[in-house]
Amino acid sequence: MKKRSICLIFIILIIFSGGIKAENIVMNNIGKMEGHTLYDIKFHDGTNPGRSELVFNIDTLIEEVRWMNYSQKRSFDYTIEMKSDYLFKNSGILVDSDWKNNSLIIYSETKTDLDFFNLDVRLKSKSLADNINIKIITGYEWQNYYFVGYGTEQINYTTDPPTIDNISDYTNTITYEIDYSIPYLALSLGSKDMKDKSYGIVLGYSPLVEAKDVDRHLLRNKRSESDTDGKAYFIEADMEFKVRKNRSFIIKAEHVNIETSGTQTQYFADGSIVEGIPVDVNSSQLILSFGYKLRF
């Protein structure tokens, strides 16, 4: 429902912008997204320290749609961008490892399908220089990941020899959903008045990142929820090649790094609850994409 509402607002803004004397630009890209989002918890059973890390690897194709509205009558321009893997879904392998006294005791790999959605809204100043585009950006980015895991292979190193359990591809073993909320400031640098091609670089930072996740271990009938905060930084670079007055091809690269920490609460099937577990929730993302840009 939340994603549908965002898409509806996006369409309404485009429709109503038609009455404003402005230049509209639409960019549509297809790209490859790689990286991971993970959480790492630390615990103590009264005798031995331990930790558990779940790494949800990201390896999928995505579609990116960006709408930009420029007007000489305003002191700023704005951009709305959406990314999704709606057409593709498949992702990388979930790696789950449990440690006690710095020794690996449980290791598993799980196939995953990913439902990914990203919304980025930006306000961009006019250029602060004459010979080069230097602009200040303030923005807000929301990232949503929903993983469904199946086909798990688990190795138990607490037995001698280690035992291996295989779970069918037809059995879901885990679901994991995480939201990253990222208000940020950025600096944009780019070429100006180039005839056939242009370039741009964006450097951004946020000290106000918030992350909330829900992890459901379906076989263990256990639910975990985390609430964390921290920082993020990102860099974007693109090259634009004009083929007509109002049409261009775009090559774009983007890297995002997120680091947060907080606490996790675990809810067990017998009704017991464990609170205040220290947790780190981090993500690293790399996107390489290619597409086209239209001006109207």
Dig out the tokens for 66 from the structure. 């960006």
Rounded Cα–Cα distance for residues 55 and 281 (Å) = 10
Would you list the DSSP string of 153-197?
Answer: EEEETTSSSPEEEE--TTSEEEEEEEEEEEEEEEEEEE--S-SSE
The CATH number of the domain holding residue 271 is 2.40.128.90
pTM here?
0.89
Q: Are 265 and 224 in contact (CB under 8 A)?
A: yes
**Domain extent for 224:** 2-295
pLDDT tens, per residue, the chain with 296 residues: 455 555 555 555 554 454 455 678 888 999 999 999 999 998 877 777 889 999 999 999 999 999 888 777 777 788 999 999 887 777 889 999 999 988 999 999 999 999 999 999 999 988 888 788 899 999 999 999 999 999 999 999 999 899 999 998 888 999 999 999 999 999 999 887 667 888 999 999 999 999 999 999 887 789 999 999 999 999 999 999 988 878 899 999 999 999 999 999 999 989 899 999 999 999 999 999 999 988 87
Q: Are 93 and 109 in contact (CB under 8 A)?
A: yes
Query: What is the number of domains present in the chain?
Result: 1
